[in-house]
Amino acid sequence: MSNIIRFPIKKDVLVWAIENGDRSFEYLIRHFPKLNQWIQGEKSPALGQIKELSKKTSIPFGYFFLNDPPKEEIPLLKFRTINNENAKPSRALIDTIMTMEHRQAWMKDYLIENGQDSPLSIVNSFNIRMNPNNVASTVRKKLNLDEDLHSLTEEEFHTYLKDNLSKLGVMVMQSGIVGSQTKRTLSVNEFRAFVLIDDVVPLIFINRCDSLSANAFSLIHEFVHILIGKPEILNDREIPKSSLEDERWINNITARVLLPESIITNLYSEASRLKNRVDPYKFISRRSHVSELAVAIRLKELQLVNEDEVSKVRDRQEKNLKKSKGAGGDYYNTNLSRVDKVYMYAVIDSQKSGSLSIQNAAKLVGGSVKTWDHIVNNFGEAIY
Protein backbone atom coordinates (compact mmCIF):
# COMPACT_ATOMS: atom_id res chain seq x y z
CA MET A 1 0.00 0.00 0.00
CA SER A 2 1.34 3.45 -0.96
CA ASN A 3 2.54 5.77 1.79
CA ILE A 4 2.47 8.85 -0.43
CA ILE A 5 1.48 11.89 1.60
CA ARG A 6 -1.04 14.14 -0.13
CA PHE A 7 -1.79 17.78 0.56
CA PRO A 8 -5.19 19.31 -0.16
CA ILE A 9 -5.09 22.73 -1.82
CA LYS A 10 -7.87 25.22 -1.16
CA LYS A 11 -10.10 25.47 -4.22
CA ASP A 12 -9.88 29.25 -4.44
CA VAL A 13 -6.08 29.13 -4.20
CA LEU A 14 -5.80 26.46 -6.90
CA VAL A 15 -8.14 28.32 -9.25
CA TRP A 16 -6.21 31.54 -8.65
CA ALA A 17 -2.91 29.77 -9.45
CA ILE A 18 -4.32 28.37 -12.69
CA GLU A 19 -5.73 31.73 -13.77
CA ASN A 20 -2.59 33.67 -12.89
CA GLY A 21 0.08 31.17 -13.90
CA ASP A 22 2.18 30.93 -17.04
CA ARG A 23 0.24 28.00 -18.55
CA SER A 24 -3.27 27.56 -19.89
CA PHE A 25 -5.78 25.24 -18.24
CA GLU A 26 -5.66 23.03 -21.35
CA TYR A 27 -1.89 22.66 -20.99
CA LEU A 28 -2.12 21.89 -17.27
CA ILE A 29 -4.88 19.30 -17.64
CA ARG A 30 -2.71 17.38 -20.08
CA HIS A 31 0.11 17.23 -17.54
CA PHE A 32 -2.12 16.78 -14.49
CA PRO A 33 -5.05 14.55 -15.54
CA LYS A 34 -6.60 14.72 -12.07
CA LEU A 35 -6.51 18.53 -11.92
CA ASN A 36 -10.32 18.83 -12.01
CA GLN A 37 -10.55 16.39 -9.12
CA TRP A 38 -8.05 18.48 -7.15
CA ILE A 39 -10.15 21.57 -7.80
CA GLN A 40 -13.33 19.86 -6.65
CA GLY A 41 -11.61 18.43 -3.57
CA GLU A 42 -12.28 14.83 -4.66
CA LYS A 43 -8.56 14.03 -4.62
CA SER A 44 -5.41 15.76 -3.36
CA PRO A 45 -2.02 16.07 -5.06
CA ALA A 46 1.19 14.62 -3.67
CA LEU A 47 4.00 16.96 -2.63
CA GLY A 48 5.95 16.20 -5.80
CA GLN A 49 2.92 17.06 -7.93
CA ILE A 50 2.52 20.40 -6.16
CA LYS A 51 6.19 21.15 -6.82
CA GLU A 52 5.71 20.31 -10.49
CA LEU A 53 2.55 22.41 -10.66
CA SER A 54 4.47 25.31 -9.12
CA LYS A 55 7.18 24.88 -11.75
CA LYS A 56 4.74 24.68 -14.66
CA THR A 57 2.72 27.72 -13.58
CA SER A 58 5.66 29.74 -12.19
CA ILE A 59 3.55 30.33 -9.08
CA PRO A 60 5.66 30.29 -5.87
CA PHE A 61 5.49 26.89 -4.16
CA GLY A 62 4.42 28.34 -0.80
CA TYR A 63 1.33 29.97 -2.32
CA PHE A 64 -0.34 26.57 -2.74
CA PHE A 65 -0.56 26.10 1.03
CA LEU A 66 -2.36 29.37 1.75
CA ASN A 67 -5.94 29.45 3.01
CA ASP A 68 -6.85 32.24 0.61
CA PRO A 69 -5.47 33.43 -2.75
CA PRO A 70 -2.51 35.79 -2.30
CA LYS A 71 -2.93 39.51 -2.87
CA GLU A 72 0.03 40.61 -4.95
CA GLU A 73 0.20 44.37 -4.54
CA ILE A 74 2.41 45.72 -7.34
CA PRO A 75 1.82 49.48 -7.67
CA LEU A 76 4.09 49.74 -10.71
CA LEU A 77 1.59 47.80 -12.83
CA LYS A 78 -0.69 50.83 -12.66
CA PHE A 79 1.83 52.77 -14.73
CA ARG A 80 1.94 50.60 -17.84
CA THR A 81 1.85 52.53 -21.13
CA ILE A 82 0.20 49.55 -22.78
CA ASN A 83 -2.52 50.07 -25.39
CA ASN A 84 -4.82 47.59 -23.65
CA GLU A 85 -4.76 48.67 -20.02
CA ASN A 86 -6.77 45.60 -19.00
CA ALA A 87 -4.19 43.14 -20.32
CA LYS A 88 -3.12 40.75 -17.57
CA PRO A 89 0.60 40.96 -16.71
CA SER A 90 2.59 37.78 -17.20
CA ARG A 91 4.23 35.94 -14.32
CA ALA A 92 7.56 36.78 -15.97
CA LEU A 93 6.87 40.51 -15.63
CA ILE A 94 5.46 40.17 -12.09
CA ASP A 95 8.41 38.09 -10.89
CA THR A 96 10.92 40.47 -12.48
CA ILE A 97 9.32 43.53 -10.87
CA MET A 98 9.22 41.83 -7.46
CA THR A 99 12.90 40.85 -7.76
CA MET A 100 13.89 44.41 -8.70
CA GLU A 101 11.82 45.85 -5.84
CA HIS A 102 13.65 43.52 -3.44
CA ARG A 103 17.06 44.54 -4.82
CA GLN A 104 16.18 48.22 -4.64
CA ALA A 105 15.00 47.89 -1.03
CA TRP A 106 18.17 45.98 -0.08
CA MET A 107 20.39 48.60 -1.72
CA LYS A 108 18.60 51.42 0.04
CA ASP A 109 19.11 49.69 3.41
CA TYR A 110 22.79 49.23 2.57
CA LEU A 111 23.19 52.93 1.75
CA ILE A 112 21.35 53.95 4.94
CA GLU A 113 23.59 51.71 7.06
CA ASN A 114 26.65 53.29 5.45
CA GLY A 115 25.43 56.87 5.78
CA GLN A 116 25.07 57.33 2.02
CA ASP A 117 21.32 57.84 1.90
CA SER A 118 21.14 61.51 0.91
CA PRO A 119 18.33 62.09 -1.62
CA LEU A 120 19.50 62.45 -5.22
CA SER A 121 19.01 65.93 -6.61
CA ILE A 122 18.06 64.55 -10.04
CA VAL A 123 14.89 62.76 -8.86
CA ASN A 124 11.77 64.80 -9.56
CA SER A 125 13.92 67.78 -10.55
CA PHE A 126 12.19 68.45 -13.90
CA ASN A 127 8.59 68.95 -14.98
CA ILE A 128 6.77 68.70 -18.30
CA ARG A 129 6.30 72.48 -18.50
CA MET A 130 10.02 72.96 -19.03
CA ASN A 131 11.49 73.75 -22.45
CA PRO A 132 12.28 70.45 -24.28
CA ASN A 133 15.46 71.79 -25.87
CA ASN A 134 16.83 72.95 -22.52
CA VAL A 135 15.95 69.66 -20.83
CA ALA A 136 17.46 67.59 -23.65
CA SER A 137 20.64 69.66 -23.49
CA THR A 138 20.87 69.13 -19.72
CA VAL A 139 20.35 65.38 -20.07
CA ARG A 140 23.06 65.14 -22.73
CA LYS A 141 25.48 66.97 -20.44
CA LYS A 142 24.63 64.81 -17.42
CA LEU A 143 25.24 61.65 -19.47
CA ASN A 144 28.30 63.04 -21.27
CA LEU A 145 26.68 62.57 -24.66
CA ASP A 146 28.29 65.63 -26.19
CA GLU A 147 31.49 63.62 -26.56
CA ASP A 148 32.37 62.09 -29.95
CA LEU A 149 30.82 58.63 -29.56
CA HIS A 150 30.46 57.67 -33.23
CA SER A 151 33.30 55.14 -33.07
CA LEU A 152 31.69 53.13 -30.26
CA THR A 153 29.93 49.86 -31.06
CA GLU A 154 26.30 49.44 -30.00
CA GLU A 155 27.41 47.32 -27.04
CA GLU A 156 30.03 49.88 -26.02
CA PHE A 157 27.52 52.72 -26.28
CA HIS A 158 25.01 50.75 -24.19
CA THR A 159 27.69 50.19 -21.51
CA TYR A 160 28.66 53.87 -21.71
CA LEU A 161 25.07 54.91 -20.97
CA LYS A 162 24.76 52.42 -18.11
CA ASP A 163 28.03 53.54 -16.51
CA ASN A 164 27.12 57.22 -16.69
CA LEU A 165 23.69 56.55 -15.19
CA SER A 166 25.35 54.57 -12.41
CA LYS A 167 27.65 57.53 -11.66
CA LEU A 168 24.54 59.66 -11.18
CA GLY A 169 23.21 57.20 -8.59
CA VAL A 170 20.78 55.31 -10.84
CA MET A 171 20.81 51.51 -10.55
CA VAL A 172 20.57 49.85 -13.96
CA MET A 173 19.59 46.18 -14.13
CA GLN A 174 19.02 44.24 -17.32
CA SER A 175 18.15 40.76 -18.50
CA GLY A 176 16.25 38.88 -21.16
CA ILE A 177 15.12 36.13 -18.78
CA VAL A 178 13.47 35.81 -15.37
CA GLY A 179 16.27 35.53 -12.83
CA SER A 180 18.58 32.75 -14.03
CA GLN A 181 15.78 30.69 -15.61
CA THR A 182 16.85 30.54 -19.24
CA LYS A 183 13.55 29.01 -20.39
CA ARG A 184 11.52 31.96 -19.07
CA THR A 185 12.26 34.73 -21.52
CA LEU A 186 10.90 38.26 -21.21
CA SER A 187 8.55 39.41 -23.94
CA VAL A 188 9.37 42.62 -25.78
CA ASN A 189 5.72 42.77 -26.80
CA GLU A 190 4.79 43.05 -23.13
CA PHE A 191 7.46 45.50 -21.98
CA ARG A 192 10.75 47.04 -23.05
CA ALA A 193 11.79 48.52 -19.71
CA PHE A 194 10.50 49.82 -16.42
CA VAL A 195 11.61 52.28 -13.76
CA LEU A 196 11.13 52.20 -9.98
CA ILE A 197 11.28 55.69 -8.50
CA ASP A 198 13.05 56.32 -5.20
CA ASP A 199 14.74 59.53 -4.09
CA VAL A 200 17.81 57.63 -2.86
CA VAL A 201 18.18 54.71 -5.26
CA PRO A 202 16.03 54.89 -8.44
CA LEU A 203 16.18 51.73 -10.54
CA ILE A 204 15.87 51.16 -14.29
CA PHE A 205 15.32 47.64 -15.64
CA ILE A 206 16.01 46.96 -19.33
CA ASN A 207 14.58 44.01 -21.27
CA ARG A 208 17.60 42.66 -23.14
CA CYS A 209 15.41 40.65 -25.50
CA ASP A 210 15.03 44.01 -27.24
CA SER A 211 17.70 45.27 -29.63
CA LEU A 212 20.65 47.26 -28.28
CA SER A 213 19.58 50.35 -30.21
CA ALA A 214 16.07 50.08 -28.72
CA ASN A 215 17.68 49.60 -25.29
CA ALA A 216 19.43 52.96 -25.73
CA PHE A 217 16.06 54.62 -26.29
CA SER A 218 14.61 52.85 -23.24
CA LEU A 219 17.49 53.91 -20.98
CA ILE A 220 17.10 57.58 -21.85
CA HIS A 221 13.29 57.39 -21.73
CA GLU A 222 13.29 55.87 -18.26
CA PHE A 223 15.97 58.29 -17.05
CA VAL A 224 13.69 61.18 -18.00
CA HIS A 225 10.96 59.46 -15.97
CA ILE A 226 13.31 59.63 -12.98
CA LEU A 227 13.85 63.33 -13.65
CA ILE A 228 10.11 63.98 -13.41
CA GLY A 229 9.66 61.47 -10.57
CA LYS A 230 7.13 59.19 -12.25
CA PRO A 231 7.39 55.35 -12.35
CA GLU A 232 6.55 53.52 -15.57
CA ILE A 233 6.51 50.26 -17.49
CA LEU A 234 7.44 51.02 -21.08
CA ASN A 235 6.00 48.72 -23.70
CA ASP A 236 4.94 50.89 -26.62
CA ARG A 237 6.96 51.12 -29.79
CA GLU A 238 9.90 53.51 -29.74
CA ILE A 239 8.63 57.08 -29.67
CA PRO A 240 4.97 55.96 -29.52
CA LYS A 241 2.06 58.24 -30.35
CA SER A 242 0.94 58.43 -26.75
CA SER A 243 -2.22 60.25 -25.77
CA LEU A 244 -0.69 61.15 -22.40
CA GLU A 245 0.81 64.61 -22.22
CA ASP A 246 3.75 63.61 -20.04
CA GLU A 247 4.57 60.63 -22.28
CA ARG A 248 4.57 62.84 -25.37
CA TRP A 249 6.90 65.23 -23.57
CA ILE A 250 9.24 62.43 -22.46
CA ASN A 251 9.33 60.92 -25.96
CA ASN A 252 10.11 64.36 -27.32
CA ILE A 253 13.00 64.76 -24.87
CA THR A 254 14.33 61.26 -25.59
CA ALA A 255 14.38 61.90 -29.34
CA ARG A 256 16.21 65.21 -28.86
CA VAL A 257 18.75 63.63 -26.51
CA LEU A 258 19.65 60.77 -28.84
CA LEU A 259 19.12 62.63 -32.12
CA PRO A 260 19.67 66.38 -31.70
CA GLU A 261 18.39 68.33 -34.69
CA SER A 262 21.78 69.68 -35.71
CA ILE A 263 23.39 66.24 -35.66
CA ILE A 264 20.65 64.30 -37.44
CA THR A 265 20.17 66.90 -40.17
CA ASN A 266 23.91 66.92 -40.88
CA LEU A 267 24.00 63.13 -41.00
CA TYR A 268 20.94 63.06 -43.26
CA SER A 269 22.55 65.54 -45.62
CA GLU A 270 25.71 63.45 -45.68
CA ALA A 271 23.69 60.28 -46.35
CA SER A 272 21.75 62.06 -49.13
CA ARG A 273 25.00 62.92 -50.90
CA LEU A 274 25.86 59.22 -50.76
CA LYS A 275 22.31 58.04 -51.55
CA ASN A 276 23.44 55.63 -54.26
CA ARG A 277 25.79 53.91 -51.83
CA VAL A 278 24.16 54.05 -48.38
CA ASP A 279 20.76 53.60 -46.80
CA PRO A 280 20.17 56.86 -44.85
CA TYR A 281 18.44 55.08 -41.95
CA LYS A 282 21.18 52.49 -41.53
CA PHE A 283 23.84 55.18 -41.93
CA ILE A 284 22.40 57.45 -39.24
CA SER A 285 21.53 54.51 -36.98
CA ARG A 286 25.14 53.30 -36.95
CA ARG A 287 26.49 56.77 -36.23
CA SER A 288 23.97 57.66 -33.51
CA HIS A 289 23.51 54.21 -31.86
CA VAL A 290 19.72 54.27 -32.08
CA SER A 291 17.39 52.10 -34.13
CA GLU A 292 16.52 52.81 -37.75
CA LEU A 293 12.89 53.24 -36.69
CA ALA A 294 13.79 55.94 -34.16
CA VAL A 295 15.81 57.66 -36.89
CA ALA A 296 12.89 57.53 -39.33
CA ILE A 297 10.41 58.89 -36.79
CA ARG A 298 12.77 61.71 -35.81
CA LEU A 299 13.31 62.61 -39.48
CA LYS A 300 9.55 62.72 -39.96
CA GLU A 301 9.22 65.06 -36.96
CA LEU A 302 11.72 67.33 -38.69
CA GLN A 303 9.67 67.04 -41.93
CA LEU A 304 12.55 65.44 -43.81
CA VAL A 305 10.65 62.21 -44.65
CA ASN A 306 6.98 61.19 -44.76
CA GLU A 307 4.86 58.60 -42.92
CA ASP A 308 5.25 56.06 -45.73
CA GLU A 309 8.99 55.99 -45.13
CA VAL A 310 8.44 55.45 -41.40
CA SER A 311 6.09 52.53 -42.12
CA LYS A 312 8.64 50.89 -44.43
CA VAL A 313 11.37 51.15 -41.79
CA ARG A 314 9.02 49.87 -39.07
CA ASP A 315 8.08 46.80 -41.13
CA ARG A 316 11.73 46.09 -41.88
CA GLN A 317 12.73 46.39 -38.23
CA GLU A 318 9.97 44.05 -37.05
CA LYS A 319 11.08 41.40 -39.57
CA ASN A 320 14.70 41.72 -38.46
CA LEU A 321 13.73 41.49 -34.77
CA LYS A 322 11.86 38.24 -35.41
CA LYS A 323 14.90 36.76 -37.13
CA SER A 324 17.40 37.82 -34.46
CA LYS A 325 18.39 35.44 -31.68
CA GLY A 326 20.04 36.19 -28.38
CA ALA A 327 23.75 35.51 -28.15
CA GLY A 328 25.27 33.03 -25.76
CA GLY A 329 28.55 34.19 -24.27
CA ASP A 330 30.40 33.44 -21.08
CA TYR A 331 28.03 32.50 -18.25
CA TYR A 332 29.70 34.61 -15.57
CA ASN A 333 30.15 37.68 -17.75
CA THR A 334 26.54 37.40 -18.89
CA ASN A 335 25.35 37.12 -15.29
CA LEU A 336 27.44 40.11 -14.21
CA SER A 337 26.17 42.22 -17.10
CA ARG A 338 22.63 41.85 -15.72
CA VAL A 339 23.50 43.53 -12.44
CA ASP A 340 24.38 47.15 -11.68
CA LYS A 341 28.08 47.49 -10.82
CA VAL A 342 27.58 49.64 -7.72
CA TYR A 343 24.94 47.21 -6.45
CA MET A 344 27.26 44.26 -7.11
CA TYR A 345 30.04 45.97 -5.19
CA ALA A 346 27.66 46.58 -2.26
CA VAL A 347 26.59 42.92 -2.14
CA ILE A 348 30.19 41.67 -2.28
CA ASP A 349 31.22 44.20 0.38
CA SER A 350 28.40 43.05 2.67
CA GLN A 351 29.34 39.41 2.22
CA LYS A 352 33.03 40.04 2.83
CA SER A 353 32.26 42.04 5.98
CA GLY A 354 30.19 39.16 7.34
CA SER A 355 26.87 40.99 7.41
CA LEU A 356 25.52 38.86 4.56
CA SER A 357 25.77 35.09 4.07
CA ILE A 358 27.10 33.69 0.81
CA GLN A 359 23.70 32.10 0.17
CA ASN A 360 21.84 35.40 0.52
CA ALA A 361 24.52 37.32 -1.37
CA ALA A 362 24.27 34.88 -4.28
CA LYS A 363 20.49 35.20 -4.35
CA LEU A 364 20.75 38.98 -4.48
CA VAL A 365 22.74 38.83 -7.71
CA GLY A 366 20.95 35.90 -9.33
CA GLY A 367 23.68 33.34 -8.67
CA SER A 368 24.17 30.36 -6.38
CA VAL A 369 26.49 29.32 -3.58
CA LYS A 370 28.27 27.07 -6.08
CA THR A 371 29.00 29.96 -8.48
CA TRP A 372 29.63 32.68 -5.90
CA ASP A 373 33.43 32.49 -5.88
CA HIS A 374 33.53 32.68 -9.68
CA ILE A 375 31.19 35.68 -9.67
CA VAL A 376 33.32 37.49 -7.08
CA ASN A 377 36.58 36.70 -8.86
CA ASN A 378 35.27 37.84 -12.25
CA PHE A 379 33.88 41.05 -10.80
CA GLY A 380 36.77 41.55 -8.40
CA GLU A 381 39.36 41.86 -11.17
CA ALA A 382 37.99 45.35 -11.83
CA ILE A 383 37.83 46.36 -8.16
CA TYR A 384 40.36 44.68 -5.86
* Residues 290, 217 contacting (CB under 8 angstroms): yes
Residue 359 lies in a domain: yes
**Of 242, 258, 274, which residue sits at a domain end?**
258
Q: Is the domain of 291 the same as that of 339?
A: no
Q: For 313-324, write each residue's pLDDT tens digit.
A: 988 877 776 655
**Residue 349 CB contacts under 8 Å (≥ 6 apart), including other chains:** none
Q: Is the domain of 161 the same as that of 217?
A: yes
Return the ∠ at Cα 304 (arms to 301 and 307), rounded to 5°.
65
* Predicted pLDDT at 330: 46
Length of the chain equals 384
Percent of the chain with pLDDT over 70: 90
Residue 75 lies in a domain: no
Most confident of 11-15, 143-147, 240-244, 378-382: 11-15
Q: For 9-46, write each residue's pLDDT tens digit.
A: 999 999 999 999 989 999 999 999 999 999 999 999 99
Q: How many domains does the chain have?
A: 4
CA atoms in the 13 A half-sphere facing the CB of 52: 10
| Weakest mean pLDDT among 13-27, 126-140, 334-348, 354-368 | 334-348
* Predicted pLDDT at 135: 95
Which residues, listed in sequence order, are joined to residue 206 by a DSSP beta bridge? 174, 193
Q: Is the domain of 53 the same as that of 22?
A: yes
Using a CB cutoff of 8 Å and minimum separation of 24, what contacts does 272-281 make? 281/313
Instruction: Give every strand in the sheet of 232-234, ordered side by side.
Output: 171-175, 203-207, 193-196, 232-234
Residue 3 lies in a domain: no
CB atoms within 10 A of CB 234: 26
Q: Which domain holds residue 340?
A: 331-380
Q: Is the domain of 122 the same as that of 191?
A: yes
| Weakest mean pLDDT among 72-86, 195-209, 241-255 | 72-86
Q: Is the domain of 227 the same as that of 93?
A: yes
Residue 333 has pLDDT above 70, yes or no: no
Q: Is the domain of 110 the same as that of 191?
A: yes
Q: Which residue has the higher pLDDT, 244 or 99?
A: 99
**Of 210, 241, 258, which residue sits at a domain end?**
258
* Helix/strand/coil (H/E/C) assignment for every residue in the chain: CCCCCECCCCHHHHHHHHHHCCCCHHHHHHHCCCHHHHHHCCCCCEHHHHHHHHHHHCCCHHHHHCCCCCCCCCHHHHHECCCCCCCCCCHHHHHHHHHHHHHHHHHHHHHHHCCCCCCCCCCCCCCCCCCHHHHHHHHHHHCCCCCCCCCCCHHHHHHHHHHHHHHCCCEEEEECEECCEEEEECCCCCCCEEEECCCCCCEEEEECCCCHHHHHHHHHHHHHHHHHCCCEEECCCCCCCCCCHHHHHHHHHHHHHHCCHHHHHHHHHHHHHCCCCCCHHHHHHHHHCCCHHHHHHHHHHCCCCCHHHHHHHHHHHHHHHHHCCCCCCCHHHHHHHCCCHHHHHHHHHHHHHCCCCHHHHHHHCCCCCCCHHHHHHHHHCCCC
**Of 281, 304, 326, which residue sits at a domain end?**
326
* Residues 8, 37 contacting (CB under 8 angstroms): no
Q: Is the domain of 236 the same as that of 265?
A: no
Mean pLDDT of 184-208: 94
Q: Which residue has the higher pLDDT, 206 or 291?
A: 206
Q: Is the domain of 217 the same as that of 148?
A: yes
Q: How confident is the model at residue 349 (pLDDT cuts 50, 70, 90)?
A: very high
* Predicted pLDDT at 58: 93
Q: Is the domain of 233 the same as that of 314?
A: no
As a whole number, the mean pLDDT across the chain is 88
Residue 234 main-chain phi, psi, to 5 deg: -90, 120
Helix axes 91-113 and 341-353, enclosed angle (nearest 10)? 60
Residue 21 lies in a domain: yes
Residue 171 lies in a domain: yes
Residue 335 has pLDDT above 70, yes or no: no
Distance CA 30, CA 52 (A): 13
Residue 96 has pLDDT above 60, yes or no: yes
Residue 352 has pLDDT above 50, yes or no: yes
Residue 70 lies in a domain: no
* Predicted pLDDT at 327: 43
Q: Is the domain of 210 the same as that of 317?
A: no
Of 147, 198, 194, 157, the C-alpha closest to 291 is 157
**Beta strand 203-207 pairing with 171-175:** parallel
* Predicted pLDDT at 86: 58
Q: For 132-178, write each residue's pLDDT tens digit.
A: 999 999 999 999 998 778 888 999 999 999 999 999 999 999 999 99
| Weakest mean pLDDT among 212-226, 268-282, 329-343 | 329-343
Residue 191 lies in a domain: yes
Q: Is the domain of 133 the same as that of 246?
A: yes
Residue 73 lies in a domain: no
* Predicted pLDDT at 331: 47
Q: Is the domain of 135 the same as that of 234?
A: yes
> Which amino acid makes up residue 190?
E
